[in-house]
Structure 1
Amino acid sequence: MKRGLTKRAAALLLSFLLIITLTACGSKTDNSKTNNNKAGVTEGSKDAGNKEKIVNIGMTDTLTSVNPLLMDATEILKYAVAFEFLPLVELNSKLEFQGMLASSITTKDNRNFTVNIDKNAVWSDGTPVTADDVVYTVLKLASPKLANASMALYAFEGVGDDGFVKEGATEIKGVKAIDDKTVQFTTKYDMALTTFENTYGRYILTVPKHILKDVPEDQLASYSWFNAPTVVNGPYKIANVDLQHYVSYEANDKYFKGAPKINKLNIKIVTAAQLLTGLQSGEIDFVQQTTGGILQEDYKGVEGLSNVTVNYGAPVTNQSIFFNTTAVTDVRIRQAILYGIDRNKLVSGFMNGKGEVVDGFLSSASPFYDASLTPTAYDPDKAKELVKEAVSAGWDSSKPLQFYVNSGDTTFTQAADYITASLADIGIKLQVNTVDLATLMSKAGSKDFDLMAVQYTYAPVDPYPDVNWLLSADGWTGYANSKITDALAATQKTSDAGEIKKQYLTIDSAVQQDVPMISAYVISAMGAVNKRLVNATPDVYGSFINVNEWDVTE
């Protein structure tokens, strides 16, 4: 198998799952007690005579850093830093890649990628943003002294298999400035344009070489300048930060896409349980689906607020049940479990209808989703037949399968009890073990489980890294299929959406048949915005692309 992005999936998996599991429906994130009036956070004024415009964004996970060179690909860090240092591109609400710092990214051969920097892009001190800034940023991201292993830069020529360049390196063979506004990236193996854009275009946040070039490399990771940068290329710059509680921003009036209409912006880090009261009181103006997880039990309360508009995002968070196929070896038992769960009832009963049922990894939010693959219908009689066949072939029905569930996901812990009762009726015993997320990840990594459930987001435009890792001998499922391997490789050799869609239909069809995983349901999570805030729509993707155009009406 060609070396793909599997390392990034493995390295970042825990951080992704921490975000999704702690912020999605039913999760009760218990941050330290948060005082919304911590020093440094400017509250929105209700004084009509005060012309200063202030907006507060509620998020439910703490930050590890606001240094773009320490990017860990978590959503909260990405957005908190991208207000200051733009990504090359970003996904909009239509799941289209929209230029941010770059005007375009193209490839002719799925090996060489040309990034054109926006000709109008300038730093807040008036200095043009150049290709050298991008090259400098990637070189520092690949530095062994910063030791940021999360960016999967090993994909590029000149970068080691560990994701780093040699200590003291001054260039990367596969990342070159062609001219002042053009960068060429060259990969070691075939890569789809969407994979490049989603993996690198969205997460390389360019920093100013002319400001940082003389800072010793071993000091960049802890450089305090990033806590209140003087020069940025995005719409805002940090004025004050407390990683556990808030980030306060001031507008960059020199932003090349247009000066922000909001003078001051705050990220308020609160518990999920505080979002409803914050929205109700007006202390929180905006909650985006992947960074602020409104509790499922609070949905009706938020919908009833007269000062708030809600928006249910596209279904992207998959409540996945993974099998350890090296333990549950009889495919008939895995199939019986799929037939034996009434997934539509899970959506209607536990998700208030805010979700959908699919087989495989792709939801209707993905451009590669094929509706011709009809989800397996609930059929307890078929399930019983399969169990009977498996028992006749030697499967021990008296031994319960060990089913591990995240204790922090209160919605699915209830659903797991329902699933257990349903499967008991068809002759399959489950022993539900509710454990914290760290324990769940340990069980997953050591394959010390029969089944495990966790919320997982497969990027709709770029599911390749996750699927490629999960459906492998090294992945959680321990499942490998040559047909799937070939189809995944084929997705990286083309930029034709129709061809990629065809390959994912092959993959999801094989998953439906062999059942290394089950999609219990795909969640459509709630976002919310105060009605005083205009030009702002909370969505899974694209919420902050136009943050400079947000405005308030009092």
Structure 2
Amino acid sequence: MKMNRGIAKRALGLGLAIVMALSVTACGKKQSGEPGAAGGQQEQSGGGQQAQAAGGEKIVNVGVTDTLNTLNPLLMDGGEINKYATGLMFLPLMELDSDLQFEGMLADSITAEDEHNFLVHIDESATWSDGKPVTADDVIYTALRLTSPVIGNPAMMYYVFVGVGDEGYTEKGADHVEGITKVDDKTVRFTTKDPMSLVTFQNSYARYLMTLPKHVIEGIAEEDLKSNEWFNHPDVVSGPFRVTDFDKDHYISYEANKDYWKGAPKIDRLNIKIVEGSQLYAGLKSGEIDVTQNTMSAIPMEDYESIEALENVTPVYGDPVTNQSVFIQTANVPDPRVRQAMLCAIDRNRILDQLMKGHGEVIDGFLSSASPYFDASITPVSYDPERAKALLAEAGWDSGKTLKFYVNSGDSTFINAASVIAAQWAEVGIKADIQTVDFATLMATATSRDYDVLAVQYTYAPVDPYTDINWLINMEDSWTSYVNADVNDALSKVQVTNDTAETAKLYSIVDKKVQEDVPMFSAYVISSLGAVNKRLTGVQPSVYGFFNHVEQWDVK
């Protein structure tokens, strides 16, 4: 279980990365005229340049609402903007496309020799911008740095590989990793301590390893790799762009890598503009922002209709992947009949229609219709207050008891939804006291399990939700304190199978059991809005795969 728990803790961070983008706007408050403020003055870098500048350069501005942490692949965490902003320079091995299929980026294939050994083959055409080939030595060098205690990155969780310690690090000064070895100049073998499915390896590791050029930076002392200036202005990259300037709270500016081995980008410059969610509409309307992505760009719900009405913009709704999950502390609410009553007392379709304008769906369990493992035969529990009252009476519910209901103070939409839920619970005899807290406090409360009900937006990776589900409802120290033998058996089989149909059956067992026992329920699943200026071609906002073919973006 050590491996499961560790991967799950990392996945918890990955799942919540999108939560933070959707629920919390950028940290730095920007006034009109400051760099990165939509509608303000044009800044010197990364700012108010329109898609087609006066000098003839083709420039595209992407608006996002989360601040940058790092552009150093060795300090990578699960944050979306960090991953994608860095991946424009240093390609991941693989990435998900908009259809949730794994697409080769630096690698052209990843295969499983068995449930412990995975072969990564680097594309034969892959080269660095200085013309040198990308090799297995580059991948192994990067992996060795990611396992270094000197670098001390806790997010990558490489302890799953043979030869890496339980905390995810090798010995200081180690010159090899036993479980990450060279087969030939273009092939690397990764060997895990415990069984792992190919999908988990691809999703949790191949998508997050951003290979660095060994021949360029191997001379830098390891203790200097975390802060070396080279990472702020790298002169050798494998991706379509290289950064020229950035302010982690306001913008990231890139120039095209004309020697990109997949083809020179059609645009000359790309800027990621970090703004408040409330500024996205004005930026899209004026043209200072050309495109927003569905999860990194948190458009306020109240601006959806206004953006849909813009003549210069095409609105694009993403797949429903972000779940407004409501967790019940089963130690405090031990009777499943009470938890069932809590679910059927809520009119979830009304909440979806009125607060989300129908942009999403109602499901039971964890998996939305975006997942290849979704079981459409599981009919969501319908609104039935009379059944709720009967279940509570059968369970001998104490109507004087008050449930503490914790909600993220940064999520104004769900604060309204929580008020509706509490009112509907009150109608059947369940009292709830809504506690609005900041995101950090919400996570601390979840970890401590000092709550009765707790709600948070959570993105369960559609192709590989195992780690999140296992962490949340299948461990003694999970958020919900819920453990079930059928769920445990199903998840243990999910961990090692590569058969899609079998995996779907196993997740169906989990979702049906969750629907029956209700350790958590989904209030709704969000289909978030993205938008793209009609001047652009080859650009399609999507939850996954947004930057996969950025070299094909163009300006009419």
TM-score, normalised by the number of residues in structure 2: 0.96
Give the SS at the match of 2:155: helix
In the alignment, structure 1 residue 273 sits paired with structure 2 residue 282 = no
Equivalent in the alignment of 2:351: 346
State the 1:139 CA deviation: 0.6
State the 1:28 CA deviation: 4.7
Contact 1:57–1:266 under 8 Å retained in 2 = yes
Match of 1:509 among 498, 508, 512: 512
Judged with a 3 Å threshold, the aligned counterparts in structure 2 of structure 1 residues 434 and 248 are, in CA distance, closer, same or farther, namely same
In the alignment, structure 1 residue 360 sits paired with structure 2 residue 361 = no
Matches within 5 A, 1:143-292: 143-292=148-297
State the 1:31 CA deviation: 2.8
User: CA–CA distance in 2 between the matches of 1:28 and 1:424?
Assistant: 32
User: CA–CA distance in 2 between the matches of 1:478 and 1:328?
Assistant: 10
Contact 1:14–1:441 under 8 Å retained in 2 = no
Contact 1:84–1:234 under 8 Å retained in 2 = yes
Contact 2:53–2:59 under 8 Å retained in 1 = no
Residue deviations 1:249-289 (CA, integer Å, cap 9, x gap):
01001101000001000010101111111101100011101
Equivalent in the alignment of 2:39: none
Contact 1:28–1:409 under 8 Å retained in 2 = no
Comparing 46-55 with 153-162, greater Cα deviation is found at 46-55
Equivalent in the alignment of 1:10: 9
State the 1:47 CA deviation: 6.9
Match of 1:318 among 323, 344, 359: 323
User: CA–CA distance in 1 between the matches of 2:89 and 2:502?
Assistant: 37
Contact 2:61–2:270 under 8 Å retained in 1 = yes
State the 1:27 CA deviation: 5.1
User: CA–CA distance in 1 between the matches of 2:21 and 2:366?
Assistant: 20
Equivalent in the alignment of 1:70: 75
State the 1:241 CA deviation: 1.1
Match of 1:31 among 28, 33, 57: 28
State the 1:29 CA deviation: 4.5
Equivalent in the alignment of 1:388: 393
Give the SS at the match of 1:336: helix
User: CA–CA distance in 1 between the matches of 2:183 and 2:25?
Assistant: 49
Matches within 5 A, 1:397-416: 397-416=399-418
Equivalent in the alignment of 1:485: 488
Structure 1: unaligned runs, 5 residues or longer: none
Judged with a 3 Å threshold, the aligned counterparts in structure 2 of structure 1 residues 131 and 46 are, in CA distance, closer, same or farther, namely closer
Give the SS at the match of 1:247: strand
Give the SS at the match of 1:273: helix
In the alignment, structure 1 residue 90 sits paired with structure 2 residue 95 = yes
Equivalent in the alignment of 1:446: 448
Contact 1:403–1:449 under 8 Å retained in 2 = yes
In the alignment, structure 1 residue 534 sits paired with structure 2 residue 537 = yes
Contact 1:8–1:150 under 8 Å retained in 2 = no
Judged with a 3 Å threshold, the aligned counterparts in structure 2 of structure 1 residues 92 and 456 are, in CA distance, closer, same or farther, namely same
1:494 maps to a residue whose letter is: T
In the alignment, structure 1 residue 524 sits paired with structure 2 residue 527 = yes
2:127 maps to a residue whose letter is: V
User: CA–CA distance in 2 between the matches of 1:197 and 1:38?
Assistant: 39
Contact 1:333–1:390 under 8 Å retained in 2 = yes
1:40 maps to a residue whose letter is: S
Contact 1:22–1:293 under 8 Å retained in 2 = no
Judged with a 3 Å threshold, the aligned counterparts in structure 2 of structure 1 residues 63 and 362 are, in CA distance, closer, same or farther, namely same
State the 1:42 CA deviation: 5.4
Contact 1:260–1:549 under 8 Å retained in 2 = yes
Equivalent in the alignment of 1:58: 63
1:371 maps to a residue whose letter is: A
In the alignment, structure 1 residue 337 sits paired with structure 2 residue 342 = yes
User: CA–CA distance in 1 between the matches of 2:492 and 2:335?
Assistant: 27
Identity %: 53
Give the SS at the match of 1:335: helix
State the 1:16 CA deviation: 4.6
State the 1:50 CA deviation: 2.5
User: CA–CA distance in 2 between the matches of 1:54 and 1:256?
Assistant: 21
| Runs of 4+ residues over 3 Å off in structure 1 | 2-5, 11-16, 26-30, 45-49
Contact 2:92–2:105 under 8 Å retained in 1 = yes
Judged with a 3 Å threshold, the aligned counterparts in structure 2 of structure 1 residues 30 and 45 are, in CA distance, closer, same or farther, namely closer
Contact 1:319–1:523 under 8 Å retained in 2 = yes
Matches within 5 A, 1:399-478: 399-471=401-473, 472-478=475-481
User: CA–CA distance in 2 between the matches of 1:339 and 1:28?
Assistant: 33
Number of equivalent positions: 547
User: CA–CA distance in 2 between the matches of 1:12 and 1:283?
Assistant: 35
State the 1:43 CA deviation: 3.9
1:39 maps to a residue whose letter is: Q
Residue deviations 1:418-465 (CA, integer Å, cap 9, x gap):
001101111111111111111111111111100000000000001011
Contact 1:43–1:54 under 8 Å retained in 2 = no
User: CA–CA distance in 2 between the matches of 1:95 and 1:407?
Assistant: 32
1:434 maps to a residue whose letter is: T
Contact 1:22–1:408 under 8 Å retained in 2 = no
Contact 2:25–2:65 under 8 Å retained in 1 = no
2:29 maps to a residue whose letter is: S
1:469 maps to a residue whose letter is: W
Residue deviations 1:270-311 (CA, integer Å, cap 9, x gap):
011111111011000111012111111110011011110111
TM-score, normalised by the number of residues in structure 1: 0.96
